[in-house]
Structure 1
Amino acid sequence: MSQTTSQHGRQTALQFAAATMKNGQFIDTLTRRVAIASESQNPNASAELMTYLTDEIQPTLMKLGFDCEIFANPIPACPPLLIAQRIEDESLPTLLTYGHGDVTNGQVELWQEGTHPWELTQIEEKIFGRGTADNKGQHTINLFALESVLKARDGKLGYNVKILFEMSEEVGSKGLEQFCFEQKEALKADLFLASDGPRLNAKTPTIFLGSRGVCQFRLRCETGNGARHSGNWGGVITNPVTRLQHALASLTTADGRITAECLRAPLPSGLTAEMMRELTVGGYAGDPTLNDQWGEKELSVGERLFGCNTLEVIAIGAGDVEKPIGAIPDVAEAVCHLRIVPGTDWQNLVVNLSAFLEEKGLGDVKVTFEGGYSATRLDPTHPWVGFVKRSMETSLEKTVTVLPNLGGTIPNHCFADVLALPTVWMPHSYPSCKQHAPNEHLLENVVEQGLLAAAGLFWDLGEHWPE
């Protein structure tokens, strides 16, 4: 194919992709998908989780020439998974991509007037609905882009594509890691690309190369005394709330810097630190107020958000703050998220943290590990990174920002570690999209950019596969 013909074909593919937003096809499809209440956190939603695969994803992929198979989760009673393969020639290179069709709980009663989690609603530039940003909207963008490239190339990509869909990402991707081990051959590929999480901000096209990991753990102090009158027994029995309070205070400073060495990791350095220092974080409509004195305050905002371990208390409880009684509680507990970067000894968290608390005289505060993912980060100099960045910049005529890793956590370790693939993520959302919260939404212009960026990339892979 001559360069002129190739450029014309590429532009045609981008036009086909853009048209799906203009003619309402994208909105109509996403409306159907959002209407399926596929809440993986809801034990009564198993039918909806399967329906999303059987009624939405499988028919779409079969129309694009994929062979599909739905698998039971290797963990009993957990949601199913789907592998789709479109093999043009076994000798051609293969791209693996991914999406998840499950969503967090709808929280119907908390959405703003005129919106509903299971009904797609567009108000000005915002497209509301549960799953619009995480992840139904994002994988819908990629599937329309792939379809557009197939149409522009007369049904031949020039490479193979495999797609993995899971339905339990919002409950910790239960079974995904084991499934990837078991299906290594079926998922064998050369490169990995997917879309999830937010870009740096609403205006900046972004790619990221991995994610911070996460460890969820619980601190619990229980006296065995039962609730006891605070006057009759106060001063002579242990108050578990006080013990828990001191345990939490021993882990960080009052301004959020981790002081427990067993929870820390090496601070960012080298090329990744340079990249992080250049990032502009926050400052857009809907973004929270940043605190420049929080955490590792000697570092840039980008280094603190993407390059450091952080400890966040996400839930805490003792007694009843709505209807307090005059009693010392029997139990106090807190749930914490340790967001981790490479170099963290997270596998030994319980042993190390228990020993730390024992040294502080707080051994009665017990540590329970509740799950987590390891941190991943592709080398920013890998050829796949430059390929995706150049392709997106050609399509969007905008500079693309490269994040060494996402600040949040996605199951990238399944692809980077288990399947040993170079991983790049091309997000089609933004930080204030309200994912996991009421009023989740996509931005219209981000959808439009996503369709162009994905179509251009799927086209370019057929022209010149990255070395």
Structure 2
Amino acid sequence: MTEQQGTSDRQDTASSEREEGIRSFLAGALPATIAGLTDLVRIPSVSWSAFDPAHVAASAKAVAALFEATGVFDAVHIKQAVADPQSGELGQPAVLATRRARNGRPTVLLYAHHDVQPPGDDADWDSPPFEPTVRGDRLYGRGAADDKAGVVSHLAAVRALAHEYGDDLDLGLVLFIEGEEEFGSRSFADFLEQNRVALASDVIIVADSDNWNVDTPSLTISLRGNVTFKLTVETLEHASHSGMFGGAAPDAMMAMVRLLSTLHGPDGSVAVEGLTESGETVPDSPDAIADFTRDAALLPGVTPIGSGPLLARLWAKPAITITGIDAPSVANASNTLLPKVSVRLSARIAPGQDAREALAALEAHVHANVPFGAHVEISDTDGGQPFLVDTSGWAVTAAKKAMADGWGVEPMETGIGGSIPFIADLVRVFPDAQILVTGVEDPDTRAHSPNESLHLGVFKRAILTEALLLSRLAENRIPE
């Protein structure tokens, strides 16, 4: 045996022992890890403007204290950036922590968010939304999965590194726990600019996605973008009697319904010229329709819309949804022709299409299909870019190997129908960083909905996966 071979064997033995130590530590710490997560879930950190920002501030303070207690980071700060450049309004507080890399090791940025969606009607929950409750193998509560479990998965992995390496940890770490992801990440771009040097990293782990199922991990490699706007249709100067003028005068509701009906074809496929498809290959899943029908909670007899492979409809094609409408309620309806109606239009755009191009296509379609000479206005526009992961980098290879070792099965490469627009900002500011989109959710998580929950087995395996990945990067074992 050569001296070089002997050194390599000793390094492999030491690495194997460290990984066994990490597994043992995480298993023993799991009850305390779950307890820490429940403490965070109890903080109603809703970042929407109609909710008390003091709760988001309290959540940021709690998160900062948890990471500072690990002893791993050189500095831990709570920071805010500008959300509205015109008014100077600040966004919600985020946590930023840094540890300098040593001896040529890479730096890894760990992203998650500590804010949550509004709970909705408490009556729709089987247990109070901010009182974390374990039923079976799931933890229920708003933010239990999205995304306080992402925060705590980072925390648990960092704790494992601290236990195994102590002062010998050479891996660089940056922690960025955002405070307003659920409210559009309005200050995200300014935060990146303010903290560009501190956030610079070789690998970025975004823990805010889902898994194929509770037994199979996923690495998210594509995300749809989004375009939203308020669409207003006017046909009359004022409301008119529906008996006296109905049948000849076009009311705004009729015009709006006719206009919205042009957005989709007979099978429900998007029918807006200029909205493109990505053409990406999707996994062959013979149970896709049945699984989707169950997971999406379709009523008996209701069938999926669109054409082509179902997963392509969700990952690789555009979608348009009307998410809100301003019109009289049924209880307040009177026999009048409505002069004006507004809706909120939300479009998901396929990877590969620019959000500005998609907005232009939607605007052109609206103006080309206005019925009865109605007046239309498009306002309050917003958009986020789609994203495709470059799977050729060493970080993807390392992440998939860690997933296979942490879960005991090979991971899937999947797309997501939803959007995480800030990833495009990360790519813009840090073009050389490799981005890994992971997460702790599964098809039954119900993120954003009543009875959101976290599968505790998924949580355990996701933590182990991240700890193994970080340990291997700390050992500088980067795949060729």
TM-score for both structures, normalised by structure 1: 0.91
Q: Which position in structure 2 is the counterpart of 1:330? A: 339
| Deviations 1:333-374, CA, capped at 9 Å, x for gaps | 221221112332421455443333333344623222432210
> Deviation of residue 254 (structure 1)?
3.2
Q: Which position in structure 2 is the counterpart of 1:92? A: 105
Aligned residues of 2:259 and 2:370 also touching (Cα < 8 A): no
Aligned residues of 2:137 and 2:455 also touching (Cα < 8 A): yes
Aligned residues of 1:68 and 1:83 also touching (Cα < 8 A): yes
> Deviation of residue 279 (structure 1)?
8.8
Hey, what's the Cα distance between the residues in 2 that align with 1:426 and 1:382? Answer: 16
One-letter identity of the residue aligned with 1:325: S
The gaps in structure 2 that reach 5 residues or longer are 1-9, 84-88
Residue 69 of structure 1 pairs with residue 77 of structure 2? yes
Q: Which position in structure 2 is the counterpart of 1:60? A: 67
Output aligned runs, 1:413-452, within 5 Å.
413-420=424-431, 421-452=433-464
Hey, what's the Cα distance between the residues in 2 that align with 1:339 and 1:355? Answer: 17
Residue 149 of structure 1 pairs with residue 161 of structure 2? yes
Hey, what's the Cα distance between the residues in 2 that align with 1:211 and 1:350? Answer: 17
TM-score for both structures, normalised by structure 2: 0.88
Query: What is the root-mean-square deviation of aligned Cα atoms in Å?
Result: 2.3
Identity %: 23
Q: Which position in structure 1 is the counterpart of 2:401? A: 390
Equivalent residue of 2:24, what SS? Answer: helix
Residue 189 of structure 1 pairs with residue 201 of structure 2? yes
Aligned residues of 1:276 and 1:307 also touching (Cα < 8 A): no
One-letter identity of the residue aligned with 2:416: L
Equivalent residue of 1:208, what SS? Answer: strand
> Deviation of residue 78 (structure 1)?
2.2
Aligned residues of 1:279 and 1:302 also touching (Cα < 8 A): no
Residue 310 of structure 1 pairs with residue 323 of structure 2? no
Q: Which position in structure 1 is the counterpart of 2:179? A: 167
> Deviation of residue 91 (structure 1)?
4.4
Aligned residues of 1:37 and 1:45 also touching (Cα < 8 A): no
Residue 127 of structure 1 pairs with residue 139 of structure 2? yes
The one of 286, 295, 300 equivalent to 1:287 is 295
Hey, what's the Cα distance between the residues in 1 that align with 2:179 and 2:46? Answer: 9
Output aligned runs, 1:175-254, within 5 Å.
175-254=187-266
One-letter identity of the residue aligned with 2:34: I
Deviates more, 1:437-446 or 1:226-235: 226-235
Q: Relative to 1, partners in 2 of residues 1:71 and 1:63: Cα closer, same or farther, differing over 3 Å? A: same
The one of 409, 418, 434 equivalent to 1:408 is 418
The one of 105, 110, 125 equivalent to 2:118 is 105
The one of 9, 17, 30 equivalent to 1:8 is 17
The gaps in structure 1 that reach 5 residues or longer are none
| Deviations 1:179-201, CA, capped at 9 Å, x for gaps | 21332222111111121122122
| Deviations 1:152-182, CA, capped at 9 Å, x for gaps | 2234333101011211111111110232133
One-letter identity of the residue aligned with 2:93: P
Aligned residues of 1:133 and 1:435 also touching (Cα < 8 A): yes
Moved over 6 A (4+): none
Hey, what's the Cα distance between the residues in 2 that align with 1:266 and 1:458? Answer: 36
Deviates more, 1:317-326 or 1:432-441: 317-326
> Deviation of residue 13 (structure 1)?
0.3
Q: Relative to 1, partners in 2 of residues 1:50 and 1:90: Cα closer, same or farther, differing over 3 Å? A: farther
